[in-house]
Amino acid sequence: MTARPGRATPSRPRRRGGRIPVALLVPAAIGLLYLVLPLVGLLVRTPWSTLPQRLAEPGVLTALRLSLQTATLATVLCLAFGVPLAWLLARIEFPGRRVVRALVTVPLVLPPVVGGVALLLVFGRRGLLGGWLDSTFGITLPFTTTGVVLAEAFVAMPFLIIAVEGALRGADTRYEEAAATLGAGRWTTFTHVTLPLVAPGIAAGAVLCWARALGEFGATITFAGNFPGRTQTMPLAVYLALETDLESAIVLSLILLTVSVAILASLRDRWITSP
Amino acid sequence: MGARRFRSALAALAALVVLGLSGCGDSADTASPQPGGSGSGVTGTVTVFAAASLTESFTTIGKDFEAANPGVKVTFSFGGSSALATQINQGAPADVFASAAPANMKTVTDAGNGDGSPSTFVKNQLVIAVPKGNPDGVTGLTDLTRPDAKVALCAEQVPCGAAAKKALTAAGVKLTPVTLEQDVKGALSKVKLGEVDAALVYRTDARTSTADVDGIEFPESAGAINDYPITVLKSAPNKAGAAAFVAYVLSDTGRSVLTRAGFQAP
């Protein structure tokens, strides 16, 4: 195990202190099994022989397309509003910052159905803002694709904010200070120094946010309802399929799983590991 | 030193987790019989899987049944009949299944999970649920086709949706709902929240919310009456309790609770 001089070996995993303690290895293995086994169960029970026909069913592709579109739009919304919010939380000292940070992360722990109810009470036809939107502009949000995007954004935004805030806190502020001393304004510093610096963090947050939006169920069904082609996303389709046909529910779940894993696996390593 | 302490702490934690898990398993497996015994000879917990539309009346019946059989505890799982049927066929530990439609009962009996043949205990009919005071003046199904009317239906896959489809077909009414809810309670709550102008729900559900909604009867619902079958389950952990509960639902006492809620006798 002697490293040859002149050749660094950064790619080799460090294993300090010899053997991995069993007390860590066993629970880690159990944890991994617990997370992976249900996915294996899904694969084992998948009706592979009838898979092509089931995939070709018109409802499946409609729901998948809607899911991908709404999750992407929700992520765009989250980026537009979440990144500035994360910057505020990470860089500016203001009274009540802790409270704001707690409020921002509430949707993480809130049951999504509760989020849906809350959205209805604000943006619904009789809601605080929804009533005004309806009477002034004739805009109603529940039961529309826009409603789906809003529900997904509500649930997924904290994932982005947490990731971006973490990246901002981890980033070296000396570059920003240097830019400031060279005469750059706050906006220029933000766009030319801060953003590129934390781009990997933003990308990681966006992927997480997108994946969470893709899996959103509770807030969507509560706020946006369930109508094929308009508000019926994949998770809703899975739930409804379960009412009649376990096999189609499995197939739909498998598609959703494949899409999520593919995206997470392809981007995670590239964005998350290197700051 | 520190590492070793950390290691033993972890081991203790792992042991605790395992103990905790096995503890959970124990309490879930055994339907703990209550001490004290009872006159009817029925003891333990009776787990009833029942259609969402039975929530209020079965809760009442459950309390009455517990009062009549000291030492018995009834626990309910209310939900869409189809979802419940799936859960039962996937091995959920239930004693009794009460479905809002024969089709979902058939799912269970076809899989060999029924014990004996199910009996129909009530029937239910659809009404149009509208906000209290009927602000839009809805009198029948055709009013729901107005271009500005927002209507919630149940999805066809669940009994109230199947009945709604039947009634609409019988009436020759084409209707584009804004949402297809997963169960009758979902459709009703969208009316209560004021998000839709009307929903097709069971008469019994409209009657549970008379403070917020009115139920408008319509003639075509006669062509879409739902039979509610009930059965003891084959793998029931408490068969005696299950049989006693089913008998109680079918008895005059049980029936009177159900008819008061708006169900019709079979």
ipTM: 0.70
Tell me whether residues B195 and A228 touch, CB distance under 8 A. no
| Two domains, one topology: B45-122+228-260 and B126-223 | yes
User: Using CA atoms, how far apart are residues A220 and A142, in angstroms rounded to an integer?
Assistant: 9
Residue B71 backbone dihedrals phi, psi, to 5 degrees: 95, -10
Structure tokens of A90?
Answer: 């990470």
Tell me whether residues A221 and B186 touch, CB distance under 8 A. yes
**How many angstroms separate the CA of residue A265 from the nearest CA in chain B?**
30
Nearest chain A residue to B9 by CA distance is A23
Contact B197, B131 (CB under 8 A): yes
Q: Top-level CATH class of B126-223?
A: alpha beta
Helices (H), chain B: 2-29, 55-68, 81-89, 102-110, 159-171, 184-192, 203-208, 239-250, 252-260
pLDDT tens sequence across A162-216: 999 999 999 888 988 899 899 888 889 989 999 999 998 999 899 999 999 999 9
Tell me whether residues B182 and A26 touch, CB distance under 8 A. no
Per-residue model confidence (pLDDT) at position B179: 93
Tell me whether residues A227 and B80 touch, CB distance under 8 A. no
pLDDT tens sequence across A68-119: 999 999 999 999 999 999 999 999 999 999 999 999 999 999 999 899 999 9
Tell me whether residues B82 and A243 touch, CB distance under 8 A. yes
Place of tokens 């019946």: B61
Of B13, B157, B178, the CB nearest to A225: B178
Binding residues of B for molybdate: 53, 81, 184, 202
Nearest chain A residue to B197 by CA distance is A125
Per-residue model confidence (pLDDT) at position A51: 86
B154: three-class secondary structure by DSSP: strand
Confidence of residue A55 (pLDDT cuts 50, 70, 90): confident
Contact A250, A256 (CB under 8 A): no
pLDDT tens sequence across A57-68: 888 889 999 999
Residue B164 CB coordination number (10 Å)? 29
Residue A118 CB coordination number (10 Å)? 18
Q: What is the pLDDT averaged over residues A251-256?
A: 90
Per-residue model confidence (pLDDT) at position B7: 52
Amino acid in position B85: A
**How many angstroms separate the CA of residue B117 from the nearest CA in chain A?**
22
Q: For chain A, how big is the Rg over CA atoms in Å?
A: 23
**How many angstroms separate the CA of residue A256 from the nearest CA in chain B?**
20
User: Between the CA of residue B37 and those of A155, A177, B42, B72, what are the distances in Å?
Assistant: 50, 78, 8, 9
Of A142, A225, A246, the CB nearest to B86: A246
Q: What is the pLDDT averaged over residues A228-237?
A: 92
Which residues partner with B216 through β-bridges?
A: B128
Tell me whether residues A143 and B179 touch, CB distance under 8 A. yes
Q: Domain B45-122+228-260: which topology?
A: D-Maltodextrin-Binding Protein; domain 2 (3.40.190)
- Evaluate if residue A263 carries a pLDDT over 50: yes
DSSP calls for A244-270: H-HHHHHHHHHHHHHHHHHHHHHHHHH
What residues of chain A lie within 8 A of the CB of B150, using their CB? 143
If we measure between CA atoms, which residue out of B137, B110, B141, B112 comes closest to residue B128?
B141
Nearest chain B residue to A30 by CA distance is B14
Indicate the pTM of the whole model.
0.75
User: Using CA atoms, how far apart are residues B250 and B266, in angstroms rounded to an integer?
Assistant: 11
Candidates B99, B178, B189, B196: best to mutate against A (most CBs of A within 10 A) is B178
Indicate the domain borders of chain B: 45-122+228-260, 126-223
Q: Which of 210-269 (A) contact B at CB < 8 A? A: 221, 225-228, 231-232, 239-244, 246
Tell me whether residues B179 and A231 touch, CB distance under 8 A. yes
User: Using CA atoms, how far apart are residues B133 and A39, in angstroms rounded to an integer?
Assistant: 51
Q: Which of 24-43 (A) contact B at CB < 8 A? A: 24, 26-27
Tell me whether residues B179 and A227 touch, CB distance under 8 A. yes
**How many angstroms separate the CA of residue B76 from the nearest CA in chain A?**
19
Contact A244, B157 (CB under 8 A): yes
**How many angstroms separate the CA of residue A1 from the nearest CA in chain B?**
25
Amino acid in position A214: L
What residues of chain B lie within 8 A of the CB of A142, using their CB? 178, 195
Place of tokens 């981007």: A267
**With the CA atoms of B87, B89, B92 and B96 taken in that order, what torsion angle do they form, in degrees rounded to the nearest 10?**
100
Of B14, B158, B195, the CB nearest to A124: B195
Of B14, B150, B179, the CB nearest to A226: B179
B9: three-class secondary structure by DSSP: helix
Please, what's the b/e burial string for B115-146 (b: 16 or more CB within 10 A of its CB; e: otherwise)?
beebeebbebbbbbbbbeebeeebeebebbee
Contact A120, B196 (CB under 8 A): no
A162: three-class secondary structure by DSSP: helix
Tell me whether residues B194 and A24 touch, CB distance under 8 A. no
Of B10, B186, B193, the CB nearest to A120: B193
Please, what's the b/e burial string for B170-180 (b: 16 or more CB within 10 A of its CB; e: otherwise)?
ebebebebbbb
Q: Does A138 touch chain B (CB under 8 A)?
A: no
- pLDDT values of chain B reduced to their tens digit, one per residue, 266 residues: 444 555 555 455 444 444 444 444 333 333 444 433 344 578 899 999 999 889 889 999 999 999 999 989 999 998 888 888 988 988 888 999 999 999 999 999 999 999 989 999 999 999 999 999 999 999 999 999 998 899 999 998 888 899 999 999 988 999 999 999 988 888 999 999 889 999 999 999 899 888 899 999 999 888 888 899 999 999 899 999 999 999 999 999 999 999 999 899 88
Nearest chain B residue to A121 by CA distance is B193
What residues of chain A lie within 8 A of the CB of B90, using their CB? 246
Nearest chain B residue to A125 by CA distance is B195
Counting DSSP H helices and E strands in chain B, the numbers are 9, 10
